A and B are shown apart, each in its own frame.
Chain A
Amino acid sequence: MNELLLIVSIGEQRVALPAVAVESVVELDTLIPVPRAPPHVAGLSALRSRVLTVIDCLRSLELGVSDCSEGIREAAVVELDGHHYALIVDVVEDVVEALSDPSPVRAAMEAGWERASIGMVETETGPILLVDVAALISGAEARAA
């Protein structure tokens, strides 16, 4: 019930990530591309001498491609199965408290969101979509392949 949520926006959509999953929020500067990796893997970056695998959430949700050319991007660092990932988001907004358990969204969502969402969560500012970090990392195309 009192789970903390990190509110971020991806593709101009405000969504929530489970705050427990997020280790930190960073600004990425360097990005080393990984040739031949699935397209939603934007590349590698280093944070405090750790290698981060950078995930382009837009791409993972089939909403487009994040522009990483101008340099600094905000990203949420999460750990999954011992690997550290940086999820590129547009903006990190706030941490809020969840007022309900996730409930299914019964309206039709876009395919990418449909795959990556856990459900709808009530917050003080209204309902918000809770996103599955693992689904973002595995990406749409990796799953389809």
Chain B
Amino acid sequence: MDDLIADFVAESREMLEALGGEIVAWEANPDDRSRLDSIFRFVHTVKGNCGFFDFPRLEALSHAAEDALADVRAGRRQADGPLVSAVLAIIDRIGEMIGAIEAGEGIPDGDDSALFAALEPGAELTAVPVAAAVVEGAGRSAAPRTIRLSVELLDRVMSTVSDMVLARNELARRLRESSTEVSVDGAFERLSSIIAEMRDAITRTRMQRIENLFVALPRMVRDLSAELGKQVLVDIEGGDVELDREMIEMIRDPLTHIIRNAVDHGIEKPADRLKAGKREIGLLSVSARQSGNQILIDIHDDGRGIDGKKLVEKAISSGTLDKAGAAQLSPREQLALIFEAGLSTASEVTAISGRGVGMDVVRSNVERIGGIVEVDSRLGEGTRMTLRVPLTLTIIPALTVSIGSHHFAIPRSAIEEIVRANGESVTFDSLGGAGIATIRGRRVPEVALADILGLESQVREEDRNFVVLRPAGGDLYALAVDRIHDHEELVVKPAAPAVMATGLYAGTTLADDGSPILLFDPAGLAQVGGVKLETHERAARVAEGPAVDKAQTIQVLLFRALDGARRALRLAVVDRIEEVPAESIRKAAGQLRVQLGDSILPLAGVNADLPKDEKVRVFRLNDGTHEIGYAFREVIDLSAIERDVILSDNTGEVSGVTLIDGEPAELVDAHWLFANHVGLSARSGSRKLVCKLPSADSWMQNMLRPIVEAAGYRVVGDEYDGQPDLVIASQGEDAKTDSSGRKIVLRPEREGDDQESIYRYDRAGLLMALKAAGVGGGK
């Protein structure tokens, strides 16, 4: 409270000072509208603040002046000499009182009736205190303890200090490199500590008490609950926690939204509360506390709680969740559904909330500033929402990792955990070239940082480390890196547009050794790495559900094949289940194919006659690059392989047999399916020649690929296992060519004396070469 009063005094004094000239000018010319307005604003502000601080005498004074001035503004009254004098007298009195408050004396008792009387229309000009009192008051008080600065200036100081820290780091490095005298080191140490102190101080100038945010809450809750016919008691704690000014602005909307929700949906009407055996008055507590470099804001209500099952039903009916997935959700995950777009349990839309937009926006807003929002609720007992936000935006705690000699930083807020590839609870599966890591029973897509960046990894796969990341708005994935180094606090700045355009980076910074280092954007990494955050989200949850305590179980989908056999497919390769009319399956170009939407996929699993005049169910299998269909009769269940698999003697569609739920089931070998059916389609199916381009070369992929495709080739990447008809490589890069395959080498320079390579923008030459290779390969 003291701080607020100090703010009030500072603000009022500032306005009084600014008014000094206005008052005189107004006195000279009472018709001057703009002067009148600024004086009116002053008394109005004072009145507003006084009501808040319980200064009745000040309030009465400012109120009276405001009324009189409002009349003048509305044209009901003429600003004449006596009125001006009376208003001035009141302003003087306010100045005196503010002086008294500032001195800590409190408001002196006194009689203001003479002043009020002077304000009355037609009052005689009476002897009132003169303006000198203000001057005197200002002179009496000590020099002001606070000054007001523009935020821009503060930001500039802050950024200069950041630069200074970086400059200090560089100096430190140079000093380490050259042998220096002890006295120099000593002086440098002193400089370092001064800079550190300064940085702390300047960081604090940007800090504001979270009280600024909380102050408006009681009023908002009061208005809301009155409107809704509810009774809510607000309990606010931790208003003295300090937070970056910018951060306070960023969490204002999410916090408001959560509180509105709590009052609207959480807390019941008094009658309902009594029925439920609760006190009539609902309790809403908002508390803030600091925990490390995070601020935790808890919003807790003792209302009806969130019904997870209802949410699941909603999610299923709106199509965001399928039934099989829904059954596997843990209670916590059910609650987390409220952050999905378009879901709300409110049965009716109210003016306050419940339009089904909101919580997803809350989550994305919080995550955008590197924060997290969590929900916990017990049906009938209440809901707790927790916002975790970092203290500041400019200094980001990060983990440095490396691939070979390249160092990178990953924001720590996105890191879920770090595991070793050869750790006990970690296993890896490769599904058609795509990596899936199983970490304590949880399936997460895995990508190697080296592959994303096109760098050479110097560490064997089994010795790598995995950083499990949760990007904003997405689900977990594991990133394989060579080495993990240090935690560092980095001052991050945006990188140049050309660098940001890669989508991989969030900014650049200087590491302690003075070298530039790039900070990753975890969501961008996932995107470039081909991790489908949306589709994998549910699959990962499904895997997580019952499997948590059995690390070695493998989730499978148990189904009945067309011939009636019980078979199982690993869940991770099944993209989705489709139903197609029987006529969309036909033999074309050498094998059975199924039309699914706009694409035609090779179809496997047809080991009996297709049911005539009926819909055929088809699994859509995906290995990350290719899709194939697999026809079946019906799904039996989601299950897990818990027992040993008896491997089949011959390679084929079925890789083995095992007991699932007490009955034998054949395990379908997804690898074999893809190897046979995709291979077929590549060779004979489309009759297209295959051209292999380096996947990591963006020029090849973006510029060259369309030309090659237009020339009638099917373009594949490095991961292609078969034998391409044509390989295109950049000059100097080692490209493996098979004896039968042909090769085109591109050189970046126009000039070149060898006949082996083609200038890469020589379009005519390229097309000729493509054509020639096509004729050669087609023989």
Contacts and interface: CB of A to CB of B under 8 A. Distances in A.
Interface of A: 30, 32-41, 44-46, 48-53, 62, 64-65, 81, 83, 85, 137-139, 141-142, 144-145
B20 interface: no
Interface in B429-469: 452-455
Contacts of B508: 44, 51
Nearest to B168: A49
A12 to B, nearest CB: 13
Contacts of B454: 35-36
B515 interface: yes
A83 B167 contact: no
Nearest 3 Cβ contacts at the A-B interface: A35-B453, A49-B166, A53-B496
Contacts of A44: 495, 499, 508, 516, 518
Interface string B483-508: 00000000001111111011011001
Nearest to A139: B498
A145 B703 contact: yes
Contacts of A51: 493, 495, 508-510, 516
B167 A49 contact: yes
A45 B167 contact: no
A96 B514 CA distance: 35
B496 A85 contact: yes
A145 B498 contact: no
Nearest to B760: A62
For A49, A83, A85, the residue with the greatest tally of chain B CB atoms inside 10 Å of its CB is A49
A64 B748 contact: yes
A145 B704 CA distance: 11
For A30, A36, A41, A141, the residue with the greatest tally of chain B CB atoms inside 10 Å of its CB is A36
Interface in B515-557: 515-518, 528
B702 interface: yes
* Secondary structure class of chain B's binding surface, majority of residues: mixed
Contacts of B518: 32, 34, 44
Given A45-B516, A49-B167, A64-B748, A39 B497 contact: no
Nearest to A43: B516
For A32, A35, A39, the residue with the greatest tally of chain B CB atoms inside 10 Å of its CB is A35
Interface in B155-173: 163, 166-167, 169-170
A115 B714 CA distance: 34
B453 A36 contact: yes
A112 to B, nearest CB: 10
B406 interface: yes
Interface in B288-313: none
A62 B453 CA distance: 23
A49 B163 contact: yes
Contact of B498 (A41, A52, A65, A144): A41
B516 A138 contact: no
A30 B498 contact: no
Nearest to B696: A36
B498 A33 contact: no
Contact of A39 (B163, B699, B761): B699
A78 B501 CA distance: 20
Nearest to A63: B749
B698 interface: yes
27 contacts: A32-B407, A35-B406, A35-B453, A35-B504, A37-B499, A38-B501, A41-B498, A41-B499, A46-B515, A46-B516, A49-B167, A49-B170, A49-B510, A51-B516, A52-B516, A53-B498, A64-B748, A64-B749, A65-B748, A83-B495, A83-B497, A137-B498, A138-B498, A139-B498, A141-B703, A144-B703, A145-B702
Contacts of B515: 30, 32, 46
Contacts of B749: 64
A139 B454 CA distance: 21
Given A32-B518, A44-B495, A49-B170, 14 more contacts: A32-B516, A34-B505, A35-B406, A35-B453, A36-B502, A36-B528, A41-B498, A46-B510, A51-B493, A51-B516, A53-B495, A64-B748, A81-B497, A145-B703
Given A32-B515, A45-B516, A49-B170, A142 B703 contact: no
A41 B497 CA distance: 11
A37 to B, nearest CB: 5
B89 to A, nearest CB: 53
B170 A48 contact: yes
B173 to A, nearest CB: 10
A99 B497 CA distance: 34
A145 B499 CA distance: 14
Contacts of B494: 83
Contact of A34 (B167, B502, B698): B502
Contacts of A83: 494-497
Interface string B691-720: 000000011001100000000000000000
B452 to A, nearest CB: 8
Nearest to A80: B496
Interface string B122-157: 000000000000000000000000000000000000
A137 B504 CA distance: 19
B523 to A, nearest CB: 15
A85 B495 CA distance: 10
B537 to A, nearest CB: 25
A32 B515 CA distance: 8
A64 B406 CA distance: 24
Contacts of A62: 761
B499 A34 contact: yes
A56 to B, nearest CB: 12
Contacts of B517: 32
B459 to A, nearest CB: 17
A51 B699 CA distance: 26
A89 B703 CA distance: 27
A141 B453 CA distance: 19
For A40, A62, A65, A139, the residue with the greatest tally of chain B CB atoms inside 10 Å of its CB is A62
Given A49-B163, A51-B495, A36 B698 contact: yes
A66 B514 CA distance: 24
Contacts of A52: 516
A61 to B, nearest CB: 12
A139 B497 CA distance: 12
Contacts of B501: 37-38, 142
A36 to B, nearest CB: 5
A53 B501 CA distance: 13
Nearest to B496: A53
Nearest to A65: B748
A38 B167 contact: no
Contacts of A33: 406
A141 B702 CA distance: 10
B394 to A, nearest CB: 15
Contacts of B510: 46, 49, 51
For B167, B169, B496, the residue with the greatest tally of chain A CB atoms inside 10 Å of its CB is B496
For B163, B454, B698, the residue with the greatest tally of chain A CB atoms inside 10 Å of its CB is B698
Contacts of A30: 515-516
A35 B455 contact: yes
Nearest to A46: B516
Nearest to A48: B167
A59 B497 CA distance: 17
A64 B499 CA distance: 21
Contacts of B455: 35
Contacts of A142: 498, 501
Nearest to A55: B498
Contact of A49 (B407, B514, B748): B514
Contacts of A85: 496
